[in-house]
Amino acid sequence: MIAELENRILALIDSNVEHASDDELFAGGYLRGHITLAAALAEEQGSSSLDDYSQLIEQSLDKAIKAGELSPPDQVLVFNLWKSLQLKVR
């Protein structure tokens, strides 16, 4: 289940590459790593719901923000894309 969700989300990111803005490309590229990491963690934990998976992605993003990886404007870009992707896979 998680692998399917991961693939669907990554496919949505990939489908926007041709017409995405530079900001959208950045956000999509940045999210990919967190999406894949969270999928591995979810599988390891035996999680199978979108809600659990989403929570792991957001925890990963929060950790990165606390580590200073994203500026406030970039945080907005990444979280806006993430929210948009969540709506599309529900």
What are 36-65's pLDDT values in tens digits? 999 999 999 999 899 999 999 999 999 999
Statement: residue 6 has pLDDT above 90: yes
What is the domain count for the chain? 1
Q: How many CB atoms lie within 10 A of CB 53?
A: 24
Tell me which residue range forms the domain holding 14: 2-89
Q: Give me the long-range contacts of 18-25 (CB less than 8 A, separation at least 24).
A: 23/77, 24/77, 24/81
Statement: residue 1 has pLDDT above 90: no
In angstroms, the first-to-last Cα distance of the chain is 13
User: Which pLDDT score, from 0 to 100, does residue 90 have?
Assistant: 87
Contact 19, 70 (CB under 8 A): no
The predicted-structure confidence for 56-90, as pLDDT tens digits, reads as follows 999 999 999 999 999 999 999 999 999 999 999 98
